[in-house]
């Protein structure tokens, strides 16, 4: 058998033997983000590793990167066109009531797309045991041009949450939006 990585993908949870054989299990009491500093690239595509549903995102580099050498840069010139990346993580709302989310963000000539929604943002959707939406939180709706700045927010975790998906990007707006050093941690109860 030969394996070739083409594009990061998110599927339904594994079951049966595949789940039993998994070597790294998510810890829903200690949620985390992988490759939040965007230093890892997928070998086949050069896109940020461990992120999925990537559209119009590239790994950029430069001395101005807040962390390491690389960061994710979303660019879109067609209003309404997708420009995003997603990552899922386990989070158990019975054990984790709040999350601390911090990241660096920068923007260049960002303007709304065809409407004010969707907008350039950091979006977290929480899901329950049945994979129904248990809650959503948004950070951002950025516009204009601004230099790198650090943002830190506290997210309330719905009690019935069992997993979450974070989505970052322009989401139909035009311009350039960059992210680096995304960190997530559970706050003590």
CB-count burial class (<10 Å; 0-12, 13-18, 19+) for 56: middle
How much is the pLDDT for 131? 87
Does residue 20 lie in a domain region?
Answer: no
Greater model confidence, 188 or 101: 101
Q: Where are the beta strands (DSSP E) in 64-161?
A: 70-76, 84-90, 98-111, 121-127, 133-140, 144-156
| Cα 61 from Cα 64, distance rounded (Å) | 8
Greater model confidence, 2 or 124: 124
Report the CATH number that the domain containing residue 86 is assigned in CATH.
Answer: 2.60.120.260
The secondary element (H helix, E strand) that includes residue 23 is none
Residue 12, CA atoms < 13 Å, CB-side half-sphere: 6
Cα-based torsion angle of the residue sequence 159, 54, 180, 68 in order, rounded to the nearest 10 degrees: 130
Does residue 132 lie in a domain region?
Answer: yes
Does residue 19 lie in a domain region?
Answer: no
| Cα 175 from Cα 189, distance rounded (Å) | 39
Does residue 102 lie in a domain region?
Answer: yes
- The stretch 138-156 carries a mean pLDDT of 95
How much is the pLDDT for 6? 52
**Segments forming the whole domain that contains residue 41:** 27-186
Helix and strand tally (H, E) in the chain? 1, 10
Q: What are the tens digits of pLDDT across the range 88-138?
A: 999 999 999 999 999 999 999 999 877 766 689 999 999 999 889 999 999
- The stretch 154-163 carries a mean pLDDT of 96
Does residue 55 lie in a domain region?
Answer: yes
How many domains in the chain?
1
pLDDT band at residue 1 using 50, 70 and 90 as cut-offs: confident
Does residue 9 lie in a domain region?
Answer: no
| Cα 124 from Cα 101, distance rounded (Å) | 10
Q: What are the tens digits of pLDDT across the range 52-75?
A: 999 999 999 988 899 999 999 999
Q: What are the tens digits of pLDDT across the range 24-54?
A: 677 899 999 999 999 999 988 889 999 999 9
């Amino acid at each position: 058998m030969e394996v070739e990585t083409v594009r990061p993908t998110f599927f339904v949870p594994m079951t049966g033997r595949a789940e039993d054989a998994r070597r790294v299990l998510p810890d829903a009491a200690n949620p985390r983000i992988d490759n939040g500093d965007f230093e890892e690239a997928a070998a086949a595509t050069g896109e940020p590793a461990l992120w999925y549903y990537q559209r119009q995102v590239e790994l950029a580099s430069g001395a101005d990167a807040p962390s390491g050498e690389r960061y994710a840069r979303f660019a879109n010139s067609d209003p309404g066109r997708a420009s995003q990346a997603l990552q899922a993580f386990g989070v158990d709302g019975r054990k984790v009531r709040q999350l601390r989310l911090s990241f660096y963000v920068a923007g260049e000539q960002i303007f709304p797309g065809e409407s004010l929604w969707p907008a350039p943002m950091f979006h977290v959707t929480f899901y329950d045991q049945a994979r129904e939406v248990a809650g959503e939180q948004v950070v951002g709706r950025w516009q204009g041009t601004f230099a790198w700045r650090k943002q830190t927010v506290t997210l309330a975790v719905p009690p019935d949450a069992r997993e979450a998906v974070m989505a970052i990007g322009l989401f139909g707006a035009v311009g350039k939006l960059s992210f680096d050093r995304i960190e997530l941690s559970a706050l003590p109860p």
